[in-house]
A and B are shown apart, each in its own frame.
Chain A
Amino acid sequence: MSILEILGGISLVIGSIFLFLGSLGIYRMPDVFNRLQAGTKASTLGAMATILGVGLLAPGWILKIIIIILFIGYSNPISSHALARAMHKRKAFMYFKGEEIDAYKEIEEKDNTEK
């Protein structure tokens, strides 16, 4: 067993743990924002680690793997940002209403007063 195979196996296990935690978060979290956090952050890292593990196990594909990882790391945060922003604009249900720190709202209000 070479060192690359061991590293690839470890990476696959880490990736699957994070993917599992992400799906568990989507199931268990109480509102849209918490679910988005679980379903995007954890699954981004999970997908990246899984694909990196595949790349370490099959070194011939490493260039494609790097491109896919860059693409996931680039596109996933943008889409989750767009989703979260749309939900915020639509004033989606918040479970911890009254306790939240809404930094985005503060920035928006500041922008509006400056205009």
Chain B
Amino acid sequence: MKKVIVLISLGILGFYLIDIFLGIGFGVPHFTNGVKDLYLSNSKDTLKVSNVVTAIVVNFRGFDTLGEVTVLFLASTALGGILYKKRHHVGERSVLFPASQVVMSGAKLLFPSIVLLGAYVFIHGHLSPGGGFQGGTIIATGFLLMLLTYRNYSVSHNRLVYFESLAGILFVSIGLVGYFSKGSFLENVLPVGNMNELFSGGVIGIIYIAVGFKVAAELTGIIYTVLHEKD
């Protein structure tokens, strides 16, 4: 009975999907309304951002990015919820033997340089490849290194939540400032500056810094939940 219901609902879904895809037409250029040319010319001329991907992700389609950040937040929260329940059965953190002296003293020097690299990547998101998501992930790998190396290294969960919420509030409030002063959500309100300079692109730099902090806090929280013993 269950299978039949699943099959019927999949059939209905598939029917409407095929209906949509048949309307597009095979081999026909879809972007006839010139949106790609608009993106390419606007990111260069009006926004003065050399990384077009960043300009699209953060400025032209910034609302989607807000949704992505929310998805990541929900995923990390759900993972924490699931794993926290199981934690009571597992007990100890799954470390077979402590890390060696070489790794312990090496990690102390590697950790700041990894965090520095991550911060560089998300601060320069509008100038070079990378951005908030990538930089945040690099920072989280630094925390992963510390958590794997030192058995009693711990991350304050309250502080992670604090940073995450602050970054999310910053993102949304920049969007609201754009809405109230320029009329649309996440509209650029700051001066754009010159191309290929650090202070260019208006709000993109600030939003990517916020995204970087948020992603780093979320991924560190996930890693910590997966690795850490019960508390």
Residues of chain A at the chain B interface (Cβ within 8 Å): 71, 74-75, 78, 81-82, 85, 89
Contact = CB atoms under 8 A, between A and B. Distances in A.
B97 A89 contact: yes
Residues of A contacting B: mostly: helix
A81 B100 contact: yes
A82 B99 CA distance: 8
Contacts of B113: 71
Contacts, number: 21
A82 B109 contact: no
A74 B106 contact: yes
Nearest to B110: A75
Interface of B: 96-97, 99-100, 102-103, 106-107, 109-110, 113
Contact of A85 (B100, B106, B110): B100
B63 to A, nearest CB: 37
Contacts of B110: 74-75, 78
Nearest to B107: A78
Contacts of B100: 81-82, 85
6 contacts: A74-B110, A78-B106, A78-B110, A81-B103, A82-B99, A82-B103
B96 A89 contact: yes
Nearest to B96: A89
A74 B113 CA distance: 11
Nearest to A82: B103
Contacts of A85: 100
A22 B23 CA distance: 54
